[in-house]
Chains A and B, each alone.
Chain A
Amino acid sequence: AQKITQTQPGMFVQEKEAVTLDCTYDTSDQSYGLFWYKQPSSGEMIFLIYQGSYDEQNATEGRYSLNFQKARKSANLVISASQLGDSAMYFCAMRDSNYQLIWGAGTKLIIKP
C-alpha cells in the first residue's frame, strides 16, 4: 500500500538555523511525484517544492531543498536559514497514478527567536 510517513510531530528550531523535516514513502509505482506543502495557522496550503521520481538532481527552490534518496525512499525537506515566518505545519505528499495526493501526518515547525 502507498503511504507517507512523517515521524516528527513537532520541532523547535532556533531562528537562522537550518532544519530538516523527515519524510519517507512507500510505493510500488515506478513513476511518482513527491511534494512538500506548508500550512500556516491561517489554513491555506502553500506549495513549496516538487521532486519527480526520475529526477536525478535534488530539487531546490530558494531556501528550500529536497534531499531525495530514492533507494531509501526518503524525501526530506531542508529549510536553510530559518525565519520566524517559517513556523507552520509542513506536509509531505506523494502523487499516485490517479493524480491523487497521499498525505503524511504533518510536522509542526516552530521557529524560536
Chain B
Amino acid sequence: GAVVSQHPSRVICKSGTSVKIECRSLDFQATTMFWYRQFPKQSLMLMATSNEGSKATYEQGVEKDKFLINHASLTLSTLTVTSAHPEDSSFYICSAAGGEGNQPQHFGDGTRLSIL
C-alpha cells in the first residue's frame, strides 16, 4: 500500500525555536498534501491543504506566518512551526492523496511537538 513518511516523530525544544516537519510520499506522487493538528482526545483539525508548486490554502484561524508550508515536489511537503511557543505543543500529522476520487488519504505517523 501507499506509504507516507513523516519525520521527526518527536521533538522537544525550547520556546522560540523553529521546527521543521517533513512529510514524504515514498511510493506514489501526492498531488495534494494535508497538514492536521490533533489535541488530546480530539479529532483531527485540518490546518492547511497544499498542492505541489502552489501556495498552501490555510483554514480559518490558522496563521500562515506561524505555520509555513512548502510543497516543493510531488513527494515532499514541509511544515515549519516558526518561533514555537508552549501553546504550539501538539500532535501534527500529515497526509497525502494521489487525487483519484476513491483513493484514501494516506497518513504519516505524526510528530509529537513539545515546546518547553
**Chain A residues near B (Cβ < 8 Å):** 31, 33, 35, 37, 42-47, 50, 52, 91, 95, 98-101, 103-106
Contacts and interface: CB of A to CB of B under 8 A. Distances in A.
Given A91-B44, A99-B32, A44 B101 contact: no
Indicate the member of B43, B93, B97, B112 with the most A CB atoms within 10 Å.
B43
16 contacts: A35-B104, A35-B105, A42-B109, A43-B112, A44-B107, A44-B109, A45-B95, A47-B107, A50-B102, A50-B104, A52-B101, A52-B102, A99-B99, A101-B46, A101-B105, A106-B42
B58 interface: no
Indicate the member of B91, B102, B108 with the most A CB atoms within 10 Å.
B102
Contacts of B67: none
Given A37-B107, A44-B107, A45-B93, 15 more contacts: A31-B101, A33-B101, A35-B105, A43-B110, A43-B112, A44-B108, A44-B110, A45-B107, A47-B106, A91-B44, A95-B101, A99-B99, A101-B46, A103-B43, A106-B42
